[in-house]
Amino acid sequence: MADTSLAHELSNSAESLKQVSVLRVRDGQLTSATDVIAVEVPVALEYNGISHVVMLASPADLENFALGFSLSEGIIQQASELYACEVEATAAAGWLVHLEIAAERFMLLKQRRRNLAGRTGCGLCGTESLEQVTRCTTVVSHRHHFAEAAMLNGMHAMQNLQPMQKQSGATHAAAWMTAQGQIEFVREDVGRHNALDKLIGVMAEQKEDFSAGVLLITSRASYEMVQKAAIMNVGVIAAISAPTSFAVELAEQTGVTLMGFMRDHSYVIYTHADRVRRD
C-alpha cells in the first residue's frame, strides 16, 4: 500500500519536533523568537530480553526503524522472523524497543554481539575487526532500468514530503521511488542511516519489492548506506550529495548503481551506469 500523502509524515513529525525560545540576530537587530528544532533521543533495541544497541534517533516510526535495522544489519533475514515489536518510553527520556526474534537468529546474534553504542556517524563503531567492515557479500544482479527524468523529478518531489526538514532544517530523508517515478514512501530522521532503516522497515512491512525501484537519499552516500541497500537487493541509489571512496568501491563490487550530486538537470554516475535510461 502506497504511503504518498503527507498525512503520515505530518502526524509523525509532531513528536520529533519541539519549540524553543531563542535570540535571533538579523540585519544587526537582536529579537526574541520561537524556533523549531528536531528532537534527538536515545533509542535502545533489545532482542529477546537482551540489550543490543543504543542509537540516537528521531522518536518517530520506531517500529519501522527496529525492523529495518534488524534486516539491514543481518540480525534477521526476513520480516517474518520478527515476531513482536513493542516501543516503550523510559524514565531516562529515551525509548526502549523490545523485539522478539526467531530463536535461531537470536542464537546467531549472541555469537556475534558487538558494542554498537553511540553509532550515529562513522557506521563502524563497535566493529571488532577489519574483516567485519566488509561483511556485505551480496551482489545485486538484477538489471532493471530507470529513466533519468523520473529520478530527477523524484528527487525534486521528495522535498515536499519532508515536513521535519522544512520546519527544523536538521533531518535527513530516505525515499522509495517506483519505476514509474512515483514516490511511495518517505522516512525522516536526524541520522541518515536511521532514515534509511526506517524506510527499509516500512517497505518490508508492506512486502515491497526492493529490486523494483530507486532509493533516493538527501545525504552523502556513505559506505554503510550502500551496504544496507545492497543487503536489501536495491539496485540504484541516487544521492543529493557526494559519495565516499569506500562507498563507490562497495557499489562497484556489489553491483549497485550509485549516483550523486542529483540536481535539477545534472548528476554523476559512479558505478553500473547501464541501469540509467536516458530517454
User: CA 194, CA 95: separation in Å to the nearest integer?
Assistant: 15
DSSP 12-64: HHGGGEEEEEEEEEETTEEEEEEEEEE--EEEEEEETTEEEEEEEE-SSSHHH
Grid coordinates belonging to 274: 547501464
C-alpha–C-alpha distance, residues 261 and 267, integer Å: 5
| Residue 122 known to be catalytic | yes
Distance separating alpha carbons of residues 245 and 248, to the nearest angstrom: 5
Phi–psi pair at 103, nearest 5 degrees: -55, -40
Contact 237, 229 (CB under 8 A): yes
Phi, psi (deg, nearest 5) at residue 265: -135, 20
Give the relative orientation of helices 192-205 and 223-231 as an angle to the nearest 10 degrees.
10
Closest CA to 257 of 268, 244, 273: 273
Q: Which residues contact 134 (CB under 8 A, 6 or more apart)?
A: 250
Which residues lie below 8 Å from residue 11, measured CB to CB, with a gap of 6+?
Answer: none
Which residue in 85, 122, 125, 136 is the catalytic one? Answer: 122
Q: Which residues are catalytic?
A: 122
